[in-house]
Homo-oligomer: A and B are copies of this chain.
Amino acid sequence: MTFLLSYVSLTQKRETLMTIQRLDPEHRMSEAVIYNQTVYYTSVPENLDADAFAQTENALAVIDRSLARVGSDKSKVLDATIFLTDLADFAAMNQAWDAWVSPGNAPVRCTVLAGLVDPRYKVEIKIIAAL
C-alpha cells in the first residue's frame, strides 16, 4: 500500500513538474515562468539614472528577489546572458557581478553588446535557473 502511494505520488509529482507556472502574468509578459523545475527570467534595472555598476547591482538584486518568490536562489542559476550597451561598462558590470555570484555556483555566462529598449538601460540580464 505504501508502495502504491509512493507510485501515485511520483506520477503526480511528474505532472506538477510539467505544469507551466507564471509569476505576475501581465498581458505583454510574465515576470517569470516555471516549467519542468526550470525558471525563465529576465531582469532589467530599476535605477535608470545610475551608472553601470549600480544598475548591475540592482538588476542582480531584482533577480534575487524574483528567484526567492519562486523558491529558488542565485546558487541555482544555470545560464546567464548579459546584454550590455557599452563595452566601457564591462569592468563595472563584472565588479557588481563578482560581488554577487554565489561562490562555487557560478552559471555559464555570455556577455554581448546590444542596444536595449530604454535608452537609459545600461544592462539587461537574462537567466535560466533551477527550481
Contact = CB atoms under 8 A, between A and B. Distances in A.
Interface of A: 3-4, 6-7, 10-11, 14, 18, 20, 22, 25-33, 35-38, 40-42, 76, 78-81, 83-84, 87, 90, 94, 97-98, 101, 103-117, 119, 124, 126, 128, 130
A25 B103 CA distance: 9
Copy number in the complex reads 3
Nearest to A109: B29
Report, nearest first, the 10 A-B pairs whose CB atoms are least far apart: A113-B115, A29-B109, A40-B79, A42-B110, A112-B114, A40-B108, A33-B78, A29-B106, A110-B126, A114-B114
Nearest to A8: B6
B117 A25 contact: no
